[in-house]
């Protein structure tokens, strides 16, 4: 395949896709093989050190954008270049992919919708290769006959997750963290159900959450769950989810709940340093859950649902797995592998971490070592670049 790489999506440091692009670009710059950017980076979201290293890539972006404009929106052939195409559910490419075609074209995807019908598979086969971020996704594609599929595991950047002492921000309370945008797939309803029971037994417990969703209307599907009283309301003034109100509606007292809002990269490590546990009973992950990995990297004992992409994180003793997994209803074939975690098992794991702080520390340490040695963004970028070669 062609040596040079072109990226069809925007580089940012505020979500998974953006981080994939940022760390791939940083690695390529270090290799003296700078990528061609086909979308303008969101430099405002980046740390100064990242921005400084990537700003020289703007020359190539401006040149290719000007050339594309001269072609009047017709697809432009990129010579001596492999194009990495960001794909959404059903293997639909983003708008930038319609403007450029590489000498080789590689699809990159993390998907949760498993309704891989004939049309979807035909779109997938248009690419010379597919790169996914979990064994779960790889297995689904292998079942349907796609042969050239590579797996590259996402990671964390240890340099932005310093190991900090607890500052006492929340006093001596037992702090449980949960992160990820509210939606049925992320199972925040299970978190609330488990924490409500746990808090009744331990009034010193505090649930802190980073659940906000930049696309708040997409949180409505959590109402599918029988555990959910309703979906969170959207504040008409701020256009943000009214999360504290939603938690209260599910029986979690307001004095036992903190809505952290949108966390910046710099806020993540200091917040996680205050936590005694993190709970992720997600019904499905197409990749491996960046927020869970960040918690593990900071030494927080993590409770993980033993399904889909989470399985690539679970190793002996590095977390507390939720082994009781019941398949969710799947009438359209769109949720193969999705599972419901047991509320009672989640409560039992919280009780273990509360009662045995030494064991909790051991779990946290094992998770921290695993992520910081085997799941870094640099390791990801190296394997991702090699998979595209």
pLDDT digits (tens, 9 = 90+) for 243-254: 999 999 999 999
Confidence band for 89, pLDDT divided at 50, 70 and 90: confident
Q: What is the rounded average pLDDT of the residues 368-386? A: 98
Instruction: Tell whether the model's pLDDT for residue 2 goes beyond 70.
Output: no
Token pair for 81: 């270049």
Q: What is the rounded average pLDDT of the residues 295-313? A: 98
Q: What is the rounded average pLDDT of the residues 90-102? A: 96
Q: Express as a percent the part of the chain with pLDDT over 70.
A: 99
Instruction: Tell whether the model's pLDDT for residue 23 goes beyond 50.
Output: yes
**Domains along the chain with CATH numbers:** 4-151 (3.40.50), 160-374 (3.40.50.2000)
Calculate helix-pair angle for 343-355, 357-374, nearest 10 degrees: 110
pLDDT at residue 1, as a whole number: 44
Residue where the block lists tokens 């930038």: 96
The CB density around residue 245, as the number of other CB atoms within 10 Å, is: 13
pLDDT at residue 203, as a whole number: 98
Per-residue 3-state assignment (H helix, E strand, C coil) for the chain: CCCEEEECCCCCCCCHHHHHHHHHHHHHHHCCCCCEECCCCCHHHCCHHHHHHHHHHHHHHHHHHHHHHHCCCCCEEEEEEEEEEEECHHHCECHHHHCEEEEEEEEECCCCCCCCCHHHHHHHCCCCEEEECCHHHHHHHHHCCCCCEEECCCCECHHHCCCCCCCCCCCCCEEEEEECCCCHHHCHHHHHHHHHHHHHHCCCEEEEEECCCCCHHHHHHHHHCCCCCCCCCECCCCCCECHHHHHHHCCCCHHHEEECCCCCHHHHHHHHCCCCEEEECCCCCCCCCHHHHHHHHCCCCEEEECCHHHHHCCCCCCCEEECCEEECCCCCCCCCCCEEECHHHHHHHHHHHHHCHHHHHHHHHHHHHHHHHHCEHHHHHHHHHHHHC
Whether residue 108 contacts residue 154, with contact meaning beta carbons closer than 8 Å, is answered with no
Confidence band for 3, pLDDT divided at 50, 70 and 90: low
Confidence band for 306, pLDDT divided at 50, 70 and 90: very high
Q: What is the rounded average pLDDT of the residues 311-339? A: 96
Instruction: Tell whether the model's pLDDT for residue 121 goes beyond 80.
Output: yes
pLDDT tens digits along 266-290: 999 999 999 999 999 999 999 999 9
Q: What is the rounded average pLDDT of the residues 132-137? A: 98
Q: Which residue has the higher pLDDT, 372 or 2?
A: 372
Please state the pTM of the whole predicted model. 0.95
């Amino acid at each position: 395949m062609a040596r040079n790489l072109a990226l069809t999506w925007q580089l940012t440091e505020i979500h998974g896709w953006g981080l994939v692009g940022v760390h791939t670009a940083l690695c390529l710059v270090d290799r003296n093989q700078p990528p061609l950017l086909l979308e303008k980076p969101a430099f405002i979201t980046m740390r100064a050190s990242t921005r400084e290293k990537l700003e020289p890539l703007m020359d190539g972006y401006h040149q290719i954008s000007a050339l594309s404009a001269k072609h009047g929106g017709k697809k432009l052939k990129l010579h001596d270049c492999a194009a990495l195409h960001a794909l959404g559910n059903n293997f639909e490419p983003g708008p930038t992919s319609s403007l450029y075609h590489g000498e080789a074209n590689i699809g990159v995807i993390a998907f949760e919708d498993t309704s891989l019908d004939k049309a979807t598979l035909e779109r997938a086969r248009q690419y010379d290769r597919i790169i996914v971020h979990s064994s779960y996704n790889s297995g689904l594609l292998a079942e349907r006959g796609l042969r050239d599929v590579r797996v590259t595991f996402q990671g964390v950047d240890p340099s932005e997750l310093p190991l900090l002492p607890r500052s006492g921000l929340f006093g001596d309370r037992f702090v449980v963290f949960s992160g990820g945008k509210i939606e049925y797939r992320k199972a925040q309803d299970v978190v609330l159900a488990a924490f409500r029971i746990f808090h009744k037994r331990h009034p010193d417990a505090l649930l802190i959450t980073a659940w906000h969703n930049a696309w708040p209307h997409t949180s409505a599907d959590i109402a599918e769950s029988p555990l959910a009283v309703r979906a969170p309301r959207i504040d008409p003034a701020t256009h943000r989810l009214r999360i504290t109100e939603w938690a209260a509606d599910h029986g979690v007292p307001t004095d036992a709940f903190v809505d952290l809002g949108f966390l910046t990269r710099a806020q993540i490590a200091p917040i996680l340093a205050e936590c005694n546990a993190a709970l992720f009973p997600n019904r499905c992950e197409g990749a491996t859950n960046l927020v869970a990995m960040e918690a593990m990297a900071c030494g927080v004992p993590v409770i993980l649902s033993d399904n889909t992409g989470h399985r690539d994180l679970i190793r002996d003793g590095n977390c507390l797995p939720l082994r009781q997994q019941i398949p969710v209803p799947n009438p359209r074939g769109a949720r193969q592998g999705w599972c419901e975690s047991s509320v009672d098992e989640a409560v039992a794991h919280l009780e273990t971490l509360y009662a045995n702080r030494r064991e909790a520390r051991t779990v946290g340490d094992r998770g921290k070592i695993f992520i910081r040695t085997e799941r870094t963004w640099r390791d990801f970028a190296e394997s991702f670049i090699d998979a595209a070669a």
